[in-house]
Chains A and B, each alone.
Chain A
Amino acid sequence: MGRVHDLRITRRPDQDGRPRGLFVAGLAVGGGRLAHAWGFAERRATGPWLLRMMTARAARAARYLPADRIVGWGPEVIRVRSDGADLPRLLDVVEP
């Protein structure tokens, strides 16, 4: 389905609402290495124009894979329930 480029982490509160620690909320999958490394895949940056254009296609290809759709966590391979096509784009998930 593609390479994992980043983990999305979250702080999940426990029953009393206190922060309980950092959890992996999901994965950032697919798209090019540079699009992730340079921050274009998650809308951290919108410029400079040239670098954005270089990575635009890859950034659009990057998907967000929520942790609850993952069946098996292996060291090399991660099994996923559902196919890749219905995953949301990372660009649409992150805050603008």
Chain B
Amino acid sequence: MTAADRGAVAGRWRPVIAVAVTAVVMASLWFGHAPPRSAAAYARQAAQTVGYLRSQTQTARLWVDAVATAATTHQAASIALEEVEADATATAGRFAGWDPPPGADPVRDTVTGLGEEVTRTLGALRIAAHRDQWAACRDWRSHCPISLSGWAPLRTASPRRPGHEAQTRHAVRLHARHPLGHRRLHRHR
């Protein structure tokens, strides 16, 4: 019984298997964390970063709207705004930490600029929420870096809405230089 359970193959191949597994694990860790080196990869990351920033801004907007319609407690909304700001800071910081490949400096300027704007706005929002100045929060849309106008939150299920173009303003700017960026930005449609 014992011999049968032990299996015959294991012994000789064990070191080979161990090395192979380690190599695959190391490679995949690197794959997960390697900075984008090519212009295309950088543009993809740029588009993804803008997508995240937009997602975070939109989330903040939903919470502010919810407070405005008394649909949520102030505690829950403040917590959510803190989370959103922290996420945006992390998203923007991650992108800013990558060196742009040759010729991608304009992309970096656009996206890091947007990141700074978004984090500043969300930070102001968080402070206003902590001070319980919810009325001020409601006005923030007008100077929000990512346009939110024309986006009716609920009760509209149609995929094509007026104002959609405005949402992807930055996408279009990226598109002018990097077609890939444009494609990635439309992932959420």
Contact = CB atoms under 8 A, between A and B. Distances in A.
Consider the complex of A and B and state whether they touch directly, i.e. have CB atoms less than 8 Å apart: yes
A96 B148 CA distance: 74
Given A3-B3, A4-B4, A6-B1, 7 more contacts: A3-B4, A4-B1, A5-B1, A5-B4, A7-B1, A33-B4, A76-B3
Contacts, number: 10
Contacts of A6: 1
B5 to A, nearest CB: 9
Does more than half of chain A's interface fall in helix, strand or loop, or is it mixed? strand
Interface string B47-91: 000000000000000000000000000000000000000000000
Contacts of B4: 3-5, 33
A76 B3 CA distance: 9
Interface residues of A, number: 7
Interface residues of B, number: 3
Interface of A: 3-7, 33, 76
Contacts of B1: 4-7
Does more than half of chain B's interface fall in helix, strand or loop, or is it mixed? helix
A-B interface, 8 closest residue pairs, ranked by CB to CB distance from nearest: A3-B4, A33-B4, A5-B4, A4-B1, A4-B4, A76-B3, A6-B1, A7-B1
A76 to B, nearest CB: 8
Contacts of A3: 3-4
A5 B3 CA distance: 10
B59 to A, nearest CB: 47
A7 B4 CA distance: 13
Contacts of B3: 3, 76
Nearest to A7: B1
Interface in B1-47: 1, 3-4
10 contacts: A3-B3, A3-B4, A4-B1, A4-B4, A5-B1, A5-B4, A6-B1, A7-B1, A33-B4, A76-B3
B168 to A, nearest CB: 51
A38 to B, nearest CB: 14
A54 to B, nearest CB: 18
Interface in B141-186: none
A6 B3 CA distance: 12
A6 B4 CA distance: 10
